[in-house]
Structure 1
Amino acid sequence: MSILQANEITIRIIDKTIIHGLSLSVPEGKVTSIIGPNGCGKSTTLKALARIWPCYKGNVTFNGEDIKKFSHREFAQKLAILTQSPQSPADLTVKDLVEMGRFPHRNWFGRKSMEDDAHVEWALGQTNM
């Protein structure tokens, strides 16, 4: 079963079509890779799947629901993306980065909870970090 699916998506940026008519399925519980040469649209595709870039045509579904139907917070609790950047803060640890993924789950005051700590420790353990 697919947890994330793109259906004939077209992505345009400043009147230039970057992706045209792409369909793909990401199966639940599996590792999926998008590979290709520089400039072929890998990052743009990921950004469309994560609602960072809107689809000009087509749609993306998560668990069978159009991703546009989710609130920003609800969608951030379901799917996250970490894009590449040429530099990161020198004192940023892997644990700090994983903790940032808990932000959409925190209360209005933004304080981390014991539950956040447990999720972070679980994720670090699953990846042998």
Structure 2
Amino acid sequence: MPWDFDSDRPIYLQLIEKIELMIFSGKYPPGAKLPSVRDIAKEAAVNPNTMQRALAKLEEDGLIITHRTSGRFITEDEKMIKKAKTRLAQEQTTEFFANMQKLGFDKTEVIAMVNQMLEKECKE
């Protein structure tokens, strides 16, 4: 997954989102050891302090656990991961509906469009 960043949002927030996606997609499975702060910051081409801030927030949220002598790991608590994944999905769905409403569609129309797209995708 490339580390592309938008210039209109804080980098550390985008780092949090990207790492969450890596956890949710299985790139970093439950219990996996994360690379060191320096290594992951180098990979993302960001300042290690910025990466440290993002990882601290993920630890505060319970997705990452730090073991003093052995580094950072993804939580093995799959309920915690599912809860965070569901929260993100709900946020994106809310944003999607808000954007569609700005375009002048009501929820019934949006749901009909989504259903049509899913049917089309299933046929392909």
Q: TM-score, normalised by structure 1?
A: 0.23
Larger radius of gyration: 2
Bigger strand share: 1
Bigger helix share: 2
Q: TM-score, normalised by structure 2?
A: 0.24
